[in-house]
Amino acid sequence: MTVTPPIDDVPSGYLLPATAAWFIAGGMVTAPFSASLARLTTSATFAEVILVGMFVPCFTWVVQSAASGWLLPAMQRRLYWGDLGRTCFWGSVALLPAAAFNLVVVDPPRSPSAANVLASVLFMTVDLYRRSTRHGVPLVWPLSFLPTICFNMALFLWASRHWWTP
């Protein structure tokens, strides 16, 4: 049986301000990708694309944070939140190639963005698994990330379904 250390023993990089900074940085890095999607739409305003492109990705992080906040002991919760924040940031960085492609290419096809999103999801799933298992967070948490983010992608597709038609 693993003994969970007291909350006072949380590494400084996993305190709430540091974790919040990772999530904020992840949001800031997601913004160029979300904005670049406006170049791919045929019937959506820039404001709608930004709103959906920034709001929908938050779903995964809110669900994962809320559920772990409710069900994990304090120390594991703080470690898992820190891991989520780091994974959010690095997964957002992984979207930058598609953002650059969408902004540079004259009439960019949609498939590179879709492929980049799938690659980012795979990267985040592996990264979160690696980070959280190293911290002794139960396996169910990093594994629950994948269905959560798949549902998140379904929400995005539903919310943007009218963007892609002439």
Block residue for tokens 């939140």 = 81
Q: Rounded distance, CA 50 to CA 163, Å?
A: 12
Q: Tell which residue, 17, 16, 18, 3, has the closest CA to residue 136.
A: 3
Instruction: Give φ, ψ of 43 to 5 degrees.
Output: -150, 40
Q: Rounded distance, CA 29 to CA 50, Å?
A: 13
Helix (H) / strand (E) element for 150: namely helix 140-159
Q: Rounded distance, CA 23 to CA 28, Å?
A: 9
Residue 95 pLDDT level (bands cut at 50, 70, 90): very high
Q: Per-residue pLDDT averaged across 139-160, rounded?
A: 92
Q: Per-residue pLDDT averaged across 116-138, rounded?
A: 95
Q: Up-side HSE of residue 67: CA atoms within 13 Å toward CB? A: 13
Cβ contact 83:128 at 8 Å: yes
**pLDDT at residue 135, as a whole number:** 92
Residue 4: pLDDT over 60:
no
Residue 1 pLDDT level (bands cut at 50, 70, 90): low
24-50 pLDDT per residue, tens: 999 999 999 999 999 999 889 999 999
Cβ neighbours for 57, distance < 8 A, ≥ 6 positions apart: 30, 34, 152, 156
**pLDDT at residue 73, as a whole number:** 94
Q: Rounded distance, CA 118 to CA 153, Å?
A: 10
Q: Which has the minimum average pLDDT: 6-20, 24-38, 113-127?
A: 6-20
- Please state the pTM of the whole predicted model: 0.89
Judging by beta carbons within 10 Å of its beta carbon (0-12, 13-18, 19+), is residue 64 exposed, middle or buried?
Answer: buried
Q: Tell which residue, 155, 159, 7, 163, has the closest CA to residue 81.
A: 7
Residue 145: pLDDT over 60:
yes
